[in-house]
Chains A and B, each alone.
Chain A
């Protein structure tokens, strides 16, 4: 027995020593801190994260960017944006070709393509869907031997063991047909779906308003136990022509309709899916189209656990699509045309992990566990170096890791609005206009962008952001009421100009000459974080330059919204992101008939100028070209003169990409960009292992400290026990 023990000890000690010596080598093979399963190492997977769980994946409901990351890859509307070309250009996706508009007058007579917009009563778009496109495998389309839908009539017993979509034994597919597109357009009117675009579309799509009312009524009467069979209802503005063709009819002339056709709102939904999910017991299991989408796109939602991870996997039924072979002149040099003509998608899976905090996300990106990252304020200095001229470049640390930086100005605007209904700052009177101009000069947005955004923004000169038709660069593009053109660039007018304007407005040095009281203005904000204090102090300081006292009214978001609806705010912070790349989508923010007060629209400043409104009506129907540019110039000149907004800024987006992640080009409009991207999984695996060797010395040190602490403790105990004896 003793001999055996001795032998075991003789063998065991060297074995343990050898294991300990080999441990670093063993663990190097797969990094300890790799958050993904070892089996996925070296696989063609893209790794990304989401900070906010998607709430809606139903194409009729989904509208936010954290949802379009998924819906954009699953659903296929008839059109899409060209990935590489700028300015943004629509191209067919499931459509055979770009739909052409046909115009009709009120009597139903066909009008020529150049007909006056006022004469056009209806516009018809006929869309031809490519044959042979198939849906992803889905139980809603599964059929039994007789050809009937297998899961169309499920009893509670059938559903007893069903908790997720993966629990269904069979899946099926079928070809995409025009009727699916028409079905989805009808779904936009469904009262239980709360489509965010129903308010807009009911004005344009013929009969959608009436359909919505019919459905409301049917629902109120308890028709169909909550399931409304849309196939039985007719919609004049969306009709099937034949198996592969359908027509959309809109009121008047509405060229922006084509942009809507590139959004998931107009993606097809098979009626079988609605029937499938409407069965009793499905909702109680969270089985709904809102959670388990069905599409024809390059990816399907393989794992839907928004509490932890969302996984997109290659749709086995996807037909394949060629990578674009044309782009901008610089795209070839950047390697963006290397895959021209090759069949997409390139990536097999995309894993999106829940990452609610910026710091872990950033650190995992640096370790190679995320393929791309934005740049947050906390990590800005570590990642980006800004030159004196404001140019952003990567730091040496980032370059050493082979990280690339791509920037793009967002097609959005963040502004401070003046409530034009307010007695002090609003109205078209010269006094109020001069006051607004004085404030516009005093509020130094260049400083704001430098201090709070690390130069990640461009001061706005008007409502139309760069990248949208109508935006002008250079001397012609500046706001002459706030900037001068000096040395080849815009320079904010001196503060003395603002003081002069303020005095002319009747507020010399910020004192109201009529009352002798200092001028106080009220700024409604929904500040919540600790960083906001510094921002609000900055705002107060800008107004103090003019002697104006800025009273910040920090309110809860809901109260703020209420103030905006009632028009009781004076100055407020607001923003708008483009739905589509058309100036109409920004200029309608100042259309008087679109005011928040009264009309419940998106014109938060309640600005109303008859000439602007007239030009807007003309501009929105025009094709892009010199005439449209001229009209937009005139409109912008009017609003620059009236200054209902401090024009604010257009944010600049910074994206960091690892060297193994290619075919990446920022796109402000498209949300189906995953199919274009590539990853070099082998390179990623090598670099991950190189960047993440486990450091074992802290474990040894920890062990030594523990042992080191035990020895004196034990000695003290021994002394205490033994020396205390009499």
Chain B
């Protein structure tokens, strides 16, 4: 297992280098440091000296990839590529273009993201599996047919609609929870109810269909027929046997997203005023703070790879037949 994990981690390096090179090209070649300086300093009373200063202060005055004026290793290290991209591998995110420490901001903002994403994820899985089980139980009946139709309808509706409708009905018309906002500690609960509810409802359509497909595939296998032949009740068959054997595909979909939960939801956080990493990224994009965007893209890639490795580990736990080979 250790050898496998080491191998997977080594595989991750070229992937991260690729991600880094793409973001570097986008952020420094397509959009030059001069452009960034102009954007951050505004259009009023900006002087060429101010632009030079701005770039120098952030290390954007160095050559992009090769410093001909440097000596020895400095030819490579005293470049924007090395200082802004390679340093990400050491998780040194540096300062944002507005001067804030990115690492500090990430540590602060991942908790609100988790506060929404984790309950949405857990409750979502529970609800989706329950509904999928119900549909599988009533397979080929009108409940199953109309359940699937409902799922397709729910899948077809945009997230934005759920958010606006949820805020309108539950927050504005019924006055049950605040429309938006955030607080810390126990006070956070009243702000989380609505986004979590909307997140769960929004995921029911696709989640239920996905799990239903898995359960139906399992339900026709020989061991299920054997279990029924033994006289087990349908509920016992479903929850005791089918669910256990369907865990591998469920894990595939579920574990891979766990690390990404830290990254938050872009739209949800923006609409509900949640100060998480999703809104951090959106703000950075809007303000063209590429230091933050670069850090978040890199972090997203790392967490995704981590999710894939965790999925592999989870396979072995769910099914002893799977081995790291």
Residue interface bits A210-253, CB-to-B below 8 A is 1, else 0: 00100010000000000000000000000000000000000000
* A39 to B: closest C-beta gap in Å: 11
Chain A residues with Cβ under 8 A from B273's Cβ? 308, 353-357, 360
A694:B175 contact, CB within 8 angstroms: yes
Which of B41, B169, B180 sits near A196, CB closer than 8 Å?
A: B41
**Once the chains are docked, how many angstroms separate the CA of A200 from the CA of B44?**
10
Let me know if B235 and A198 touch, CB within 8 A. Answer: no
Least Cβ–Cβ distance between B174 and chain A, in angstroms: 4
Contact between A721 and B109 (Cβ–Cβ < 8 Å)?
Answer: no
Tally of A-B Cβ pairs under 8 angstroms = 162
On whether A194 and B54 interact (CB within 8 A), knowing A35-B178, A695-B173, A717-B137, the answer reads yes
Flag if A37 contacts B167 (CB, 8 Å).
no
**Which of the segments B8-16, B150-158, B181-189 contacts the partner chain?**
B181-189
Please tell me if the beta carbons of A37 and B187 are within 8 angstroms of each other in the complex: yes
State whether the Cβ of B308 lies closer than 8 Å to any Cβ in chain A. no
With A and B bound together, what is the CA distance between A717 and B235 in angstroms? 9
Using a CB-CB cutoff of 8 Å, which residues 544-596 of chain A contact chain B?
557-558, 561-562, 579
Q: Interface of chain A, helix or strand or loop or mixed?
A: loop
Q: Would you call B47 an interface residue if the criterion is a C-beta within 8 Å of the partner chain's C-beta atoms?
A: yes
B50 touches A32 (CB 8 A): no
Contact between A56 and B104, CB atoms less than 8 A apart: no
Q: How far is the CB of A340 from chain B (nearest CB, A)?
A: 37
| B38–A199 touching, CB < 8 Å | no
Cβ-based interface call for A476 (8 A) = no
CB contacts (< 8 Å) of B288 on chain A: these are 557-558
CA distance A191 to B233 in the complex (A): 78
CB proximity of A532 to chain B, nearest CB, Å? 16
Instruction: Say yes or no: A196 contacts B45, CB within 8 Å.
Output: yes
Interface size on B, residues (CB 8 A): 68
Point out the residues of chain A lying under 8 angstroms from B105, CB to CB: 307
Known contacts A307-B109, A602-B44, A695-B174; A32 and B190 CB within 8 A of each other: yes
Least CB distance from A235 to B in Å reads: 18
Q: Which residues of B contact A196 (CB under 8 A)?
A: 41-42, 44-46, 50
Q: Evaluate contact between B164 and A359: CB separation under 8 angstroms.
A: yes
Cα A688 to Cα B190 with chains together (Å) = 18
The complex places the Cα of A699 from the Cα of B193 at a distance, in Å, of: 14
Chain A residues closer than 8 Å to B109, beta-carbon distance: 307
B59 on the A face (CB < 8 A)? no
Size bracket, chain A contacts = 35 or more
- Is A367 an interface position by the 8 A CB rule? yes
Stretch at the interface among A281-289, A382-390, A444-452: A281-289
Assuming the contacts A32-B176, A33-B171, asked whether A721 and B42 have C-beta atoms less than 8 A apart, the reply is no
B222 CB to closest chain A CB (Å) equals 20
For B99, the chain A residues whose CB sits under 8 A away are 283, 288, 290
Residues of B with C-beta under 8 A to A698: 169-170, 174, 176
A55-B98 contact in complex given A561-B43, A695-B173, A695-B176, C-beta closer than 8 Å = yes
Residues of A within 8 A of B260 (CB): none
B323 within 8 A of A: no
Q: How far is the CB of B269 from chain A (nearest CB, A)?
A: 9
Give the residues in chain A near B31, CB-CB below 8 Å. 558
Closest to A361 in B: B180
Q: When chains A and B are docked, how far (Å) is the Cα of A37 from the Cα of B190?
A: 11
Residues of chain A with a CB closer than 8 A to B173's CB: 695
Docked Cα-Cα span, A562 to B43, in Å, equals 11
Tell whether, in the assembled complex, residue A360 and residue B175 are in contact, meaning their CB atoms are under 8 Å apart.
no
A72 to B118, CA, bound (A): 40
Q: In the complex, which residues 6-64 of chain B have their Cβ closer than 8 Å to any Cβ of chain A? A: 31-32, 35-36, 38-39, 41-50, 53-54, 57
B176 surroundings in chain A (CB, below 8 A) = 32-33, 694-695, 698-699
Chain B residues whose CB sits within 8 angstroms of the CB of A291 once the complex forms: 100
- Find B191's partner among A35, A717, A720 (CB 8 Å cutoff): A35
B181 touches A353 (CB 8 A): yes
- Kindly state whether residue B272 has any CB partner on chain A within 8 Å: yes
Distance (whole angstroms) from the CB of B272 to the closest CB of chain A:
7
| Bound Cα distance from A307 to B277, whole angstroms | 10
Q: Is A558 within 8 A of B179, CB to CB?
A: no
B234 on the A face (CB < 8 A): yes
Contacts of A694 in B (CB 8 A): 174-176
Chain B residue contacts of A31, Cβ below 8 A:
175
Query: Does B213 touch A at the CB level, under 8 Å?
Result: no
Is residue B275 within 8 Å, beta carbon to beta carbon, of the partner chain?
Answer: yes
Q: A284-B101, A286-B100, A558-B35 are in contact. Are A354 and B275 (CB under 8 A)?
A: yes
Chain A residues, CB < 8 A from B101? 283-286
A561 touches B57 (CB 8 A): no
User: Quick check: B45 and A199 within 8 Å, CB to CB?
Assistant: yes
Given A35-B181, A37-B183, A367-B179: A305 and B174 within 8 A (CB)?
Answer: no
Most chain B beta-carbon contacts within 10 A, residue among A63, A196, A602: A196
Near A by CB (< 8 A), chain B positions 119-151 give 134, 137-138, 141, 143
A713 contacts chain B at the CB level, 8 A cutoff: yes
B156 to chain A, nearest CB (A): 20
Instruction: Give complex CA distance A216, B47 in Å.
Output: 15
Least CB distance, A533 to chain B, in whole angstroms: 19
Q: Is the CB of A360 within 8 A of B275?
A: no
With A33-B171, A56-B98 known as contacts, the answer to whether A721 contacts B233 (CB < 8 A) is yes
CB contacts (< 8 Å) of A284 on chain B: these are: 101, 104
Contacts of A34 in B (CB 8 A): 178
Q: Is the CB of B45 within 8 A of A200?
A: yes
User: Any chain B CB within 8 A of the CB of A9?
Assistant: no
Q: Shortest CB–CB separation between residue B162 and chain A, in angstroms?
A: 13
| B279 on the A face (CB < 8 A) | yes
List the A side residues contacting B43 at CB < 8 Å.
561, 602
Q: Tell me how far the C-beta of B238 lies from the nearest C-beta in chain A, rounded to whole angstroms.
A: 11
B159 CB–A CB distance under 8 Å: no
Q: In the complex, which residues 228-274 of chain B have their Cβ closer than 8 Å to any Cβ of chain A? A: 233-235, 270-273
Closest to A576 in B: B44
Q: Is A693 part of the contact surface with B, judged by Cβ < 8 Å?
A: yes
B316 contacts the other chain (Cβ, under 8 Å)?
A: no
Q: Which of B167, B190, B280 contacts A359 (CB 8 A)?
A: B167
Residues of A contacting B280 in the complex (Cβ-Cβ under 8 angstroms): 307
Give the contacting residue for A194; candidates B53, B179, B187; CB below 8 A: B53
Known: A197-B45, A695-B174. A561 touches B35 (CB 8 A): yes
Partner of B179, one of A33, A64, A283, A286: A33
| Contact between B45 and A285, CB atoms less than 8 A apart | no
Task: Report yes or no: B48 in contact with A600, Cβ–Cβ below 8 A.
Answer: yes
Q: Per-residue 0/1 for A582-625: is the Cβ within 8 Å of any B Cβ (1 yes, 0 no)?
A: 00000000000000000010100000000000000000000000
Contact digits for A270-303, partner B, Cβ 8 Å, 1 yes 0 no: 0000000000000111101011000000000000
Q: Mark B266-298, 1 if CB is under 8 A from A, else 0.
A: 000011110100011011001110000000000
Q: Is B108 located at the chain interface by the 8 A CB criterion?
A: yes
User: Scoring B residues 190 to 234 as 1 if CB is less than 8 Å from chain A, else 0, what string do you get?
Assistant: 110000000000000000000000000000000000000000011
B172 contacts across to A, CB distance below 8 A: 363, 366-367
The interface residues of chain A lying within 8 Å CB-to-CB of B287 are 52, 55
A32 to B171, CA, bound (A): 9
User: Contact between B179 and A363 (Cβ–Cβ < 8 Å)?
Assistant: yes
B271→A561 contact, CB < 8 A = no
Known: A353-B181, A354-B273, A359-B271. 15 other contacts (CB 8 A): A32-B176, A55-B98, A192-B57, A194-B57, A196-B44, A199-B47, A291-B100, A307-B279, A369-B178, A600-B46, A693-B175, A694-B175, A694-B176, A716-B138, A721-B234
Of all A-B residue pairs in the complex, the 8 with the closest CB atoms, nearest first, are: A307-B275, A558-B35, A35-B178, A199-B47, A35-B181, A360-B180, A695-B174, A308-B275
Q: List 15 A-B contacts (CB under 8 A).
A: A33-B177, A33-B178, A35-B191, A53-B283, A55-B98, A196-B42, A285-B104, A356-B270, A356-B283, A359-B167, A360-B180, A364-B178, A366-B172, A600-B47, A720-B234
Chain B interface residues (CB < 8 Å from chain A): 31-32, 35-36, 38-39, 41-50, 53-54, 57, 98-101, 104-105, 108-109, 134, 137-138, 141, 143, 164, 167-183, 187, 190-191, 233-235, 270-273, 275, 279-280, 282-283, 286-288
